Chains A and B, each alone.
Chain A
């Protein structure tokens, strides 16, 4: 049936099927974007928002000085993430990356529990010891608390 089509028609058919495939995949992508995008928050912006329990997001800030505590089981760590304005208590179960230090920048992915404690499922390690994610540096600057260069 398709063989009898005129070349112009046939080209149109290919074009349409191309647009169709591209459309579907972009639709899928946008759908996924809506569901799978994580908000990137600082303790201050978190305090201004209401985030549902069990909604995953990323939290960035500094690990507060003298806040790291390790539980008896040896793998659970409690610490406080701060942007020098607001702070939030966080808990992480697992092996911490080497660059996780008090006073250093940190980005964690996780959820809030009903007690409003941030349960981190991932702590991101960065390649550079001086690295502060631009988002966090920005946010801290915005809060007027920037003490860097």
Chain B
């Protein structure tokens, strides 16, 4: 019965979405606000319906109703509750339902928090939001129904891939989707603005918080995925430039560009049509990402079940959405009035450089991701594009970006002089040069990229700190005044500084952990000692341990530094029964921002075990950096100016007098 309720709610949601796509659009063009109001209610009803459908599916998973095909394929009665729940979105159909749910959530959020927005704009935004939802509901209902039944009912499910039974991955898809789908709001606002033919600072102020929120979620989503790969896949890497990873990374890069260009629209009322284009592209790449992941068109470690029918549908949907919006853009964008001018050395110009470099980075990732497809289509030759390509193209693009990033927050709007800015940064330049020389000296004849990485990260971190100190005028005014300045420091600026410092720390972590990682591969028998840097791993043999739905061989290592036992590490080899599969559970012990990392391999015929032991210095800076980026985003999001009320009232008054609100 639950499955039928869910199915019914999805169909109702489809009908509501259809009317929500059409009626408020008409209302907006005829200036009939009761029709817009209808759209607002429709958005909320659509959310409720999809939420019910989603909860129905979740219920089916929790009670393990194997008469439903999707539950049978992806669940098992002995699975822990958390993974029964996360199993809902651990598969194609369920994750699509989550996609639609989040889309409806954002639509309803715009409908509910839009009291201060011009009603015509709201009408158009929620209508476009519903049109996207309509497309995905069609895909869901007709091509990937999560509520399809099977008969006869199997006794037990076939289980969820054990690698996915992990807290990091349980929350990875929802965050990723909050990011992907969050860009739909920026997209809808962009299309609405194109139809309305009006983009101004107020428009940017409405779009930016949504974009920022989406960006933060996407940052968390990508980091969670990366973190999961690091500790769960057991080969110690955290980013593989896999097509599916790239699929999430491209929207992130464009989202980052959008975030920055929206600042220019907001503060300086220029770069408008560019920002609109970015908003369209950010969401287009989210759709492209969904297509790449869901169609199985590219070879990837994320081998989701693929289905050509779905692939074709998503491709057609993609062409209509991206093609349609770009066509609308070419038609309407020239009507947008350009704004203020700025000199080549100004905050605007630095943000333009940011955008250009981020877009170039996106283009190279796109090229690398699609190149095997293109070449296969042209010559039939199979190739794979691996990390060396991405590293080779990314570093030259990111280096100037980081250099500009270090000083950009201190460059003033409109026009500024470089020597003035640099003179305020002399101390950062000095610190950076010293850090570079010290690294060069310490790693004599070592990896030159390590020196570059250190220079960039030190430059960015010291620049962020200098920016902060400059703004609070430490030592230039009394401590009391400085303190007051900290209190009154706008949160959007603090957030930016923290996020930039986060990028610096991230680069530091990447550099040190990849350049100075220690790896030892060997076979060991009980009593063997292996030295990894300053640490000695003593193998104490194995034992059998039982988990809730697996058996494990557990290896025991005593880890010494000098003569002190610092930790016992227990990597495992888990054998799951449903589905039958073996996974490696690495043992990780964080120490001084680095990690000791031990993996137990297979048992050899002569009773030894293959093992891999690592010391990964500063690897935790990587996660810390990502965390700071997301944190900076959220702090920026909490800025007063984005809150409903305060600064907009004046704007509304102005518009009231202009007769925009009746």
Residues of A near any B CB (own CB < 8 A):
2-3, 7, 10, 13-14, 17-18, 21-22, 25-26, 28-30, 32-33, 35-41, 45, 58, 70, 73-75, 93-99, 109, 124-129, 131, 133-135, 139
Contact = CB atoms under 8 A, between A and B. Distances in A.
A25 B397 contact: yes
Given A25-B397, A36-B389, 4 more contacts: A26-B364, A38-B383, A40-B384, A126-B303
Contacts of B396: 25, 28
Contacts of B583: 98
Contacts of B522: 74-75
22 contacts: A17-B356, A21-B357, A25-B360, A25-B363, A26-B363, A29-B364, A32-B388, A32-B389, A33-B367, A33-B385, A36-B389, A37-B371, A37-B383, A74-B608, A75-B521, A94-B612, A95-B521, A95-B611, A98-B234, A98-B573, A127-B161, A128-B303
B368 interface: yes
Given A39-B381, A39-B382, A70-B605, A94 B521 contact: yes
Contact of B388 (A36, A73, A93): A36
B581 A129 contact: yes
Nearest to A34: B389
- Which bucket holds chain B's interface residue count? 35 or more
Interface of B: 161, 163-164, 233-235, 296, 299, 301-303, 341, 343-344, 352-353, 356-357, 359-361, 363-364, 367-368, 371-372, 381-386, 388-389, 392-393, 396-397, 415, 521-523, 573, 579-584, 599, 601-602, 604-606, 608, 610-612
Contact of A98 (B352, B361, B584, B605): B584
A14 B352 contact: yes
Contacts of B606: 74
B415 A3 contact: yes
Contacts of A29: 363-364, 367-368, 389, 393
Contacts of B383: 37-40
Contact of B523 (A35, A75, A99): A75
A133 B361 contact: no
A26 to B, nearest CB: 6
Contacts of B364: 25-26, 28-29
Given A28-B393, A29-B368, A93 B521 contact: yes
Given A3-B343, A33-B371, A134 B235 contact: no
B386 A38 contact: yes
Contacts of A125: 233, 235, 301
A111 B397 CA distance: 30
A73 B521 CA distance: 11
